[in-house]
Amino acid sequence: MRPCSEPWLDTAEMAGRLGVHPKTLLRLRAAPFNPFLEGMHYRRGGLTTRAPFQWHGDRCEAAFTDFNRVDPASVEAFSREELSKAAEGLR
């Protein structure tokens, strides 16, 4: 991992470094199960809750890389069989 010349990056810069869209990064941060901790990986750039986020480049990159992803099967609401039966009922 290369050190960051500026440790705190704005959302667009951090998203670019991770290879994701800025909206994806913000949605990931807001998810209940995510790799980022406020105060360690990101902070607010002002005094209010509407202030833009600032991201610690090296810490975020390490957390994103080491994050234990969720198995998609564990969050599926329907099996393929149930979806096929539901689709048949709509025809």
**Distance in angstroms (rounded) separating the CA atoms of residues 78 and 66:** 29
Q: pLDDT at position 9, please?
A: 97
Are the CB atoms for 21 and 12 separated by under 8 Å? no
Q: Are strands 53-56 and 42-44 parallel, antiparallel or unpaired?
A: antiparallel
pTM, 2 dp: 0.71
pLDDT means over runs of 10, the chain (91 residues)? 74 97 96 93 94 96 90 69 68 60
